[in-house]
Amino acid sequence: MISRVAFIINPNSSKGQYEPFLKEINQRIDQPTVLISRTKEDTERFISENWEHIDIFVAAGGDGTISSIAQQLVNSEKILAVYPMGSGNGFARENGFNTNLKKLIEKLQKGNSKKIDTVKINDYFCINVSGVGLDSTVAHNFEKTSRGFFNYIKTTVKTYFQFKSVEVSFSDSHFKNFSGSYMMLNIANTRQFGNNAYIAPQAMIDDGKIDLALVKKFPFWYSPIFACQLFTKKLRGNRYIKYLCTEKIEINASSDLWHIDGDAVSISSPVSIKVSKQSLRILQ
Question: Nearest to residue 74, comparing CAs of 115, 112, 109, 104?
Answer: 115
Task: For the domain covering 5-111, report its CATH number.
Answer: 3.40.50.10330
CB 13 within 8 A of CB 85: yes
207-253 pLDDT, tens digit each: 999 999 999 999 999 999 999 999 999 999 999 999 999 999 999 99
CB 229 within 8 A of CB 238: yes
Q: What is the mean pLDDT of residues 88-107?
A: 95
110-134 pLDDT, tens digit each: 999 999 999 999 999 999 999 999 9
**Using CA atoms, how far apart are residues 234 and 281, in angstroms rounded to an integer?**
30
- In the structure, what pLDDT confidence band is assigned to residue 1 with cuts at 50, 70 and 90? low
Under DSSP, is residue 49 helix (H, G, I), strand (E, B) or coil?
helix
pLDDT at 87: 81
pLDDT at 148: 67
Average pLDDT of the chain, as a whole number: 94
**Using CA atoms, how far apart are residues 209 and 187, in angstroms rounded to an integer?**
10
Question: Which run of H or E residues covers position 154?
Answer: helix 149-162
Q: Where are the domains of the chain?
A: 5-111, 124-277
pLDDT at 147: 67
pLDDT at 3: 79
pLDDT at 14: 75
Question: Which run of H or E residues covers position 229?
Answer: helix 223-231
For residue 182, CA distances in Å to 29, 137, 199, 253, 254 come to: 49, 13, 15, 10, 10
42-96 pLDDT, tens digit each: 999 999 999 999 999 999 999 989 999 999 999 999 999 999 998 889 999 999 9
Q: Is the pLDDT of residue 37 over 80?
A: yes
* Residue of 139 and 190 predicted with greater confidence: 190
Pair type for strands 113-121 and 79-84: unpaired
The packing angle between helices 134-142 and 149-162, to 10°, is 130
**Using CA atoms, how far apart are residues 107 and 90, in angstroms rounded to an integer?**
20
Q: Could you tell me the pTM of the whole model?
A: 0.90
**HSE toward the beta carbon, residue 136, CA cutoff 13 A:** 27
How is residue 267 annotated by DSSP? -
Class of domain 124-277: mainly beta
CB 135 within 8 A of CB 184: yes
Task: Quickly list DSSP for 62-97.
Answer: -HHHHHHHHHHHTTSS-EEEEEE-SSSBHHHHHTT-
Taking phi first (over 0 means left), then psi (-120 to 50 degrees means alpha), and beta for anything else, what does residue 96 get?
Answer: left
pLDDT at 227: 95
CB 142 within 8 A of CB 62: no
Q: What is the mean pLDDT of residues 172-183?
A: 95
Q: Is the pLDDT of residue 157 over 70?
A: yes
